[in-house]
Amino acid sequence: MWYRSASFILDKQEQQRKDAAESRPLSPVSTAMTENPSANVSMYYQTRAAHHGVVTSDWLAQAQAAVAGNAEDAAVENNASAGEEKGKKFSVVDEFNNWRKQPELAEAVAAIRALASVIRSSQAKTMMELEIELKKASDSLKSWDTTSISLTAGCDIFMRYVTRTSALDREDFGSAKFRLLERAEKFGEISYKARRIIAMLSQDFIFDGCTILVHGFSRVVLEALRTAAENKKLFRVLCTEGRPDRSGLRVSNELAKLDVPVKLLIDSAVAYSMDEVDMVLVGADGVVESGGIINMMGTYQIALVAKAMNKPMYVAAESYKFARLYPLDQKDMAPALRPIDFGVPIPSKVEVERSARDYTPPQYLTLLFTDLGVLTPSVVSDELIQLYL
């Protein structure tokens, strides 16, 4: 498995750049990997192989199947942002906002791309200066929205992923910065591809004739359903309205465009309709250390109903949403409030609950579909340890 390690690939790329004309011939395995990138295992899986030291054939087969046939991802590489404009001081928040203009790009991925641009535009002369600069940029992004779990988790994982290589201690600053930028860009690419990998892994659980209940607008859930529709699977979706922002209406509109049969429910009709459902599929704002999830308000009560009626509860979530949090109850997390319009005047003495999300404990979840694989809630703690080591 040595040829799948991240350090080998990065060393090979650097050697090719330095000795383009005189580089020694690549091995047949390495040549195949270079000429046919769409057949490669994701760089994230390759890096995990380097850190774990051993990779099972089943794990690699799962990864290969997830990313096969998705060569079009290359179009979103590094051309969306030029980093620092000439004559203008670089701002990581401005760079982040530029990336956020892409409608299909998740907030955390936009932050990861922006942090990669910090390395690219840095004028630091030492690794210590560069790491301090990265830390300040990460803190600036996290303070941009202190309630966003995925944004905070994405920045934290980026910092750990990019800087956790002992090779940096043995290189001159120029080479170390180049290696740091390589890892940053690879992490951005991996994070962008996460949604499609999850969609592919979830296909084994979406079968012909099934009825799926979804709650809230989740792009990764929508991608999984879109992939199933493209694979000619016959299924129907029950979609909650998603008050107060009516996010369920957005999902139902998107599914209607795909000619997927959709039935729209008011949020309070979940228990009434659960006997029609074969599975529940939701996204997540964050996956916490216990294996539970923090998601749009109403997810917890849906999980309770599904558990009571023996319906599987699946969660689709990217690994950059894995957060170092351990909430003990519903109030044990930073509040994320939202405006609520009931359509009628509310007396000033009436208190209105404006929390936007709730916490679903792991015992109510069946499986999590992630770009690391299909996980049980109990495995999440192990994966968090590996991500943050």
Do residues 211 and 278 touch, judged by C-beta distance below 8 A? yes
Structure tokens at 99: 């990336």
Do residues 239 and 263 touch, judged by C-beta distance below 8 A? yes
Residue 68: what pLDDT? 52
* Nearest-angstrom CA–CA distance, 192 and 110: 9
Using CA atoms, how far residue 143 sits from 93, 111, 215, 217, in Å, is 10, 12, 28, 24
Residue 334: what pLDDT? 77
Residue 167: what pLDDT? 52
Task: Single out the residue of 120, 72, 67 nearest to residue 95, CA to CA.
Answer: 120
46-75 core/surface letters (b: 16 or more CB in 10 A; e: else): bbbbbeeeebeeebbebbeebbeeeeeeee
Using CA atoms, how far residue 36 sits from 31, 32, 67, 71, in Å, is 8, 6, 12, 9
* Nearest-angstrom CA–CA distance, 224 and 107: 19
Residue 165: what pLDDT? 58
Total residues belonging to the chain: 389
CA atoms within 13 A on the CB side of 323: 24
* Nearest-angstrom CA–CA distance, 143 and 147: 9
Q: Strand order in 286-287's β-sheet?
A: 286-287, 293-296, 357-360
* Nearest-angstrom CA–CA distance, 197 and 183: 20
Residue 270: what pLDDT? 94
* Nearest-angstrom CA–CA distance, 172 and 280: 52
Instruction: Tell me the helix, strand and coil percentages in the chain, rounded to 5.
Output: 55, 10, 35
Q: What is the dihedral of CA 38, 44, 49, 51, to 10 degrees?
A: 160
- How distant is the alpha carbon of residue 66 from its chain centre? 15
Do residues 21 and 350 touch, judged by C-beta distance below 8 A? no
In single-letter form, the type of residue at position 322 comes to: F
Do residues 235 and 208 touch, judged by C-beta distance below 8 A? yes
* Per-run averaged pLDDT (10 residues), the chain, 389 residues: 43 57 42 39 40 39 49 44 53 85 81 86 82 87 84 84 62 74 79 88 93 93 94 94 86 92 93 95 92 93 96 93 87 80 84 88 94 89 74
Which segments within the chain are labelled E, that is strand? Answer: 210-214, 235-240, 262-265, 279-282, 286-287, 293-296, 313-316, 357-360, 367-370, 373-375
